[in-house]
Amino acid sequence: METTRRRTTHDANGKTPEQSEQAAQWGRAWEVDWFSLISVVGLLCFAPFIVFYFVMACDQYQCSISEPLFALYRGQTTLPSIWARAPSFSWSAAKIYAIWVSFQVFLYMCIPDFAHKLIPGYVGGVQDGARTPAGLINKYEVNGLQCWLITHALWVANAHYFHWFSPTIIFDNWIPLMWCTNILGYTVSTFAFIKAYLFPTNAEDCKFTGNIFYNFMMGIEFNPRIGKWFDFKLFFNGRPGIVAWTLINLSYMAKQQELYGHVTNSMIIVNVLQALYVLDFFWNEAWYLKTIDICHDHFGWYLGWGDCVWLPYLYTLQGLYLVYHPVQLSDAHAIAVLLLGLVGYYIFRSTNHQKDKFRRTDGSCSIWGRKPSYIECSYRSADGGMHRSKLLTSGFWGVARHFNYTGDLMGSLAYCAACGFGHILPYFYIVYMTILLVHRCVRDEHRCSSKYGKDWKSYTDAVPYRLVPGVF
């Protein structure tokens, strides 16, 4: 693994005095309170059942999330009978998933990015990540857009020319594939957990809380790797889940065409808006290396299982719902939903672009036609090195401290609103994203407060609102 690192003199205990004072103040928790422990154990126990419940509700109860509960209450069904009716693990699904994951590993590891040489403005190839708490700067092979393009080109070629498999293959094996994704999610999470104890990639970036459940869920290693380039966080965050997101939606669209002889405008809108989000992710993958998932989160069950199971199954609920309920929106409803999604995307992308532009130019740029204002701050990494940073207070970043999340939530609401108002199930996504992003705001700001100290207080005084000006 290629890294650059600042060296400092350590004391007899292996740490500088500043490191001993500051190390616990940057990154995820070193100690776990009872509320956090209960939340962690609850998620470990119930998150897999939440995924199963939503998928089962569509498969057995036409996407009604209340009907299974009422049927159980009235004695019309039992938990064993619900379980028995659900498709089980199959070796054909295992073969499909093994081929899928292996193909994504091949694209990630064996085909260095050449897309940045062909597509103007795209940043790919070998890129530096952010500085880790231990003072390391990891290098990454950024080739997500290339992987997405190759994968989808083969999908389209198969659908129109080769006919190796049906475009509905994902939907047709959706529940058996769920068992396969769980196997991979738990396997990679357990491997990362054991690896952190026995052969960590960088021991100084490991965090042990003393609580086995928290360590397993939130991760111990910061950047676990195998060899020089296989980075667990970058691979599982971006592939196989996010590359699959748009393929899953295309499979839903193909199934709707097969069942009803046409594709509804609601399905098209969901496909377009979510594809825009996915493409934005891969176009800006180099920028993503500087975001909270890579910069602060350790790799554990939260990312390993979440990226394998939670993301592909619950982020695509709208398309799944529309297979069972082919909603045809009025022109006014369709236009309103599309505008909401596009405006949300514009805010999301413009906000992130302003921050990226400010960071790349070290503040020597123009935002909204004027020189940007900022709060200059300092922080100490775990190796004892002092570093300086600037917190932007201009443009959208002067409107709210996380206005990119506001745009993200607008887009999330658009996905759900495309499904009409017949069922609650498609709206799980906006509820989940609101909880996730509000929690992320609080988590990120607690981390920044510990990292920047009084400079963070100056920043929050300059930009008092988190998401919605005047409200929150």
pLDDT, tens digit (0-9, with 9 covering 90-100), for 94-144 = 999 999 999 999 999 999 999 999 999 999 999 988 888 787 888 999 999
Residue 80 CB neighbour total at 10 angstroms: 8
Residue 188 CA to its chain's centroid (Å): 17
How sure is the predictor about 467, in pLDDT bands with cuts at 50, 70 and 90? very high
Out of 119-128, 266-275, 438-447, pick the least confident. Answer: 438-447
Q: How many CA atoms lie within 13 A of 122 on its CB side?
A: 21
Domain boundaries, the chain: 90-328, 355-471
Residue 97's region, left for phi above 0, alpha for psi from -120 to 50, else beta, is alpha
pLDDT digits (tens, 9 = 90+) for 168-210: 999 999 999 999 999 999 999 999 999 999 999 988 888 888 8
Q: Which residue has the higher pLDDT, 472 or 166?
A: 166
Return the pLDDT at 207: 87
51 Cβ contact list (under 8 Å, min separation 6): 178, 309, 310, 313, 314
Burial class (CB in 10 A: 0-12, 13-18, 19+), 440: middle
pTM for this model (two decimals): 0.88
In sequence order, the β-bridge partners of residue 230 are: 226
Q: Are 271 and 247 in contact (CB under 8 A)?
A: no
CA distances from 335 to 265, 320, 330, 342, 394 (A): 10, 22, 9, 10, 31
| pLDDT value of residue 30 | 53
CB 188 within 8 A of CB 307: no
